[in-house]
Amino acid sequence: MLFARRRARKAAERAAADVHALLARADSQLPAVEQALWLIDTLDWLRHGPAPQALLARLNLPPPDLPPAPDDAAVPAEVLRLSVLLDLLEQQPERGAQVAAILAGLLRHTDPTLLLADFGFSSRSSFFSELTERLGRKYLPASPETRDLAVLFSLFFPDARDAVWLDAVSPALLSRLTLWLGTAPQVADHAPAATLWRVALTDALTYTVSQIRATGFSPDLRLRMATGTTQEADAEAPFKQLSAQVEAVQAQLSRPPSTDTPNLLPQALVLFRAGLDACRQQAEAVNTHLKENGTSVSLVYALHELHQRLDRAEALLNCLVGDTPARDAAHLFSTFARLNAQRRSVRALWRHNTALLAEKMAERHAESGEHYITRDRREYRAMLRAAMGGGLIMGFTTWVKIGILGLKTALFWTGLLAGLNYAVSFVIVQLLHWTIATKQPAMTAPALADKLSELSKPGGVEHFVDEVANLTRSQSAGVFGNVLLVMPVALLLGLGGLAWFGPQFLPAPKAEHELHSLSLLGPTPLFAAFTGVLLFLSSVIAGWAENAFVLHRLDSAIAWNPRIRRRLGPRRAARWASWWRRNVGVMAGNVSLGLLLGLTPEFFRIFGIDLQVRHVTLSSGLFGAACASLGPAVVNDPAFWWALAGIAVNGVLNVGVSFYLAYRLALRARGIQVKERRAIYSSLASRLLRRPWTFILPPRQTVVNAR
């Protein structure tokens, strides 16, 4: 026990000596870079210094008068050490003067507006440019020899935890800091830190308003603000008036208090805040316009940054004239600390951009997916018939694909011909109003995003589970219909070809190879899951094409372009415009899926990787073709049954993987949190246990769902 007390006493003595040595190094006459290094060391001491209780006991200081933290949480040690440091500065006026001069010099020797106005905003809107910039911040060392206060801030507060203790600084401690900065003696004939801070805030507010106006006056946003509001002539008015409003506020702030002239600052503040709110409303009008007329990642990013700059202007104004300016300044610094951690995070950049992409894909693609969801027996039978029609076409596609492989052309041409074969077949199926089952889940999952937005409503989770059950039944009908017809069609075509051309039409060894390639014992599950990824990618391309078509108003161009009208005539041009508006996403999905299925295996084969696609409908057709060549005796071959099992697993993985990826896209687009996801999974598990047949068979009565 005695040894422990002696060790604690020595540790306290070292801690007291360290803090006194730290204060002794404070010298406002040092070069600016060495003053910055002193601030870095001081903040590092706040984060990793000795235990505050031992330090207080050694320095003979009373316990800090701090209110209890909310929710009975412990006060961060950094806040306690800050209180100790302030006690020492108040007891040693000469050292306090040096520290105050260093803080004032920090504002005098740097450009604070680079931190206050621009910190957290990217100078480039390109994903790869921002990625390169973040990697540089993360791995390249920064120098404190700079006039950029944003760079120094990243060195002062490098840890994400800094935001926590900055937010935990109590109002009483903030008041002491403010009072100390205002009353600390000056060591040189320079403006005090408090004065420089107000000047920096005023300049930063001016620059922030300039950025807001520049964004609001950009051509893309200006055009959509005009079409997104009922008063087109006044769409830009809030941004035009913002400059005069902030100048009025600054003029009142710079005017010395006088009893001769009325104080117009409250009125100027009301007008300025109203102007910021009006700009925010115009930005919301653009959001509404984008959702209705096509969205763009760059425009969504610009709007997101516009909202952030409007919030930054409010924060700067609160630091200037708010009721609790010290508290607002601490909150602003804690926000900067969080942004500093995010600006080095590649994961945060990826999550933010994929969220924007998800929102873009889901907004314009949901309506098309509704056509693939069945809700009663009549729609179920219609889906089954449409899938059987698709199986009929794919039976011919299978033999065309076998013929293309028999040409033995170069890899690229083999992949291109196979892809065009698939694409033409998918387009024919679509034009005949038939369907291919595995294209459905990626198309329908964005439609579920609308249901996800209603989870907070009463019964929202149950409605969503009902929609999942409807979707699953639709997939089962599609798969059953495709397989039900593609196998016999491919078998009959194979028997006809063998009767006409002889055994060389599909030699038995090749048929046996194809049958074994479909076996469940081989890599079929892996290939089927990979094909599900391709199915999802085709839906992303379809959503992008539909969104781009609407965003660039190509339907209007087809209907009203003079050259097109002269060639097609007004009525035909209008019909073509309407048809493409309805079908551009589906056609793009069909063509892209065909090319992905054909070209992807040949691309990997260039690198010596045998990665095949396993589309359940095409695999079923290939199974039927192989059986035609091998004859009835094939049923005695175990490979026959393993291939059937492989086809069943193939269908499950095609549908499951593509739907899961599209479902994740819908979750990201709607920002569904973990708690809501758990409620969805719990409700799905309960439905599977109580009524599993509802995911396969249609209900006897029509289920009415709000669409």
Cα separation, 549 vs 543, whole angstroms: 10
Among the ranges given (200-209, 254-263, 355-364), the one the predictor scored with the smallest mean pLDDT: 355-364
Q: Over pLDDT 70: what percentage of the chain?
A: 80
Cα separation, 434 vs 429, whole angstroms: 5
Cα separation, 585 vs 365, whole angstroms: 8
pLDDT, mean of residues 408-435: 93
Which of residues 446 and 554 earns the better pLDDT score? 554
What would the 3-class secondary structure string for 424-453 be?
HHHHHHHHCCCCCHHHHHHHHHHHHHHHHC
- pLDDT over 60 at 4, yes or no: no
Which of residues 464 and 204 earns the better pLDDT score? 204
Which of residues 536 and 123 earns the better pLDDT score? 536
Cα separation, 486 vs 495, whole angstroms: 14
Q: List helix spans (H) across 552-637.
A: 554-560, 562-568, 570-606, 616-630
Cα separation, 86 vs 55, whole angstroms: 13
Token readout for 415 is 């992949």
- pLDDT over 70 at 359, yes or no: no
* CA proximity to 384, closest of 478, 469, 475: 478
Kindly provide the b/e burial profile for residues 111-132, where b requires at least 16 CB atoms within 10 angstroms of the residue's own CB: bbbbbbbbbbeeeeeebeebee
Residue 303 has what pLDDT?
Answer: 83
Residue 593 has what pLDDT?
Answer: 92
pLDDT, mean of residues 359-384: 68
Q: In this structure, are residues 386 and 481 in contact, taking their beta carbons and an 8 Å threshold? A: yes
CA 14 to chain centre: 49
Residue 227 has what pLDDT?
Answer: 60
CA 648 to chain centre: 35
Work out the pLDDT band at 506, boundaries 50, 70, 90: confident
- Burial class from Cβ neighbours inside 10 Å (0-12, 13-18, 19+) for residue 621 reads buried
- Describe the crossing of helices 237-254 and 193-216 by its angle, rounded to 10 degrees: 170
Residue 16 has what pLDDT?
Answer: 65
Residue 69 has what pLDDT?
Answer: 47
Which of residues 22 and 234 earns the better pLDDT score? 22
Q: Give pLDDT tens digits for 647-682.
A: 999 988 988 888 888 778 777 766 677 777 888 888
Which of residues 696 and 62 earns the better pLDDT score? 696
**Cα three-residue angle 115-116-117, rounded to 5 degrees:** 100
Please, what sign has the CA dihedral across residues 604, 609, 610, 613?
negative
pLDDT, mean of residues 269-275: 92
Work out the pLDDT band at 388, boundaries 50, 70, 90: very high
Cα separation, 617 vs 620, whole angstroms: 5
Q: Give pLDDT tens digits for 142-178.
A: 889 999 999 999 999 988 889 999 999 988 888 888 8
Residue 705 has what pLDDT?
Answer: 47
Q: In this structure, are residues 587 and 430 in contact, taking their beta carbons and an 8 Å threshold? A: yes
Query: What structural domains and CATH numbers belong to the chain?
Result: 2-344 (no CATH), 357-367+374-695 (1.20.1080.10)
- pLDDT over 90 at 333, yes or no: yes
Work out the pLDDT band at 707, boundaries 50, 70, 90: very low
Cα separation, 603 vs 609, whole angstroms: 9
H or E, element range at 195 = helix 193-216
Work out the pLDDT band at 393, boundaries 50, 70, 90: very high
Q: Give pLDDT tens digits for 278-317.
A: 999 888 888 776 666 666 667 777 888 899 999 999 999 9
How high does pLDDT run on average in the chain?
82
Cα separation, 303 vs 281, whole angstroms: 11
Residue 621 has what pLDDT?
Answer: 94
State the amino acid at position 688 in one-letter form: L
- For residue 450, what are the contacts with CB-CB under 8 A and spacing of at least 6? 366
Work out the pLDDT band at 600, boundaries 50, 70, 90: very high
How many CA atoms does the CB half-sphere of 387 hold within 13 Å? 27
- pLDDT over 70 at 11, yes or no: no
Work out the pLDDT band at 442, boundaries 50, 70, 90: very low
- pLDDT over 90 at 398, yes or no: yes
Q: In this structure, are residues 46 and 81 in contact, taking their beta carbons and an 8 Å threshold? A: yes
What length is written for the chain? 707
Which of residues 223 and 432 earns the better pLDDT score? 432
DSSP state letter for 185? P
Q: Whole-angstrom distance between the N-terminal and C-terminal Cα of the chain?
A: 74
Q: Give pLDDT tens digits for 90-141.
A: 888 888 888 888 988 888 889 999 999 999 887 666 556 667 777 777 777 8
Phi-psi region of 188 (alpha: psi -120 to 50; beta: other; left: phi over 0): beta
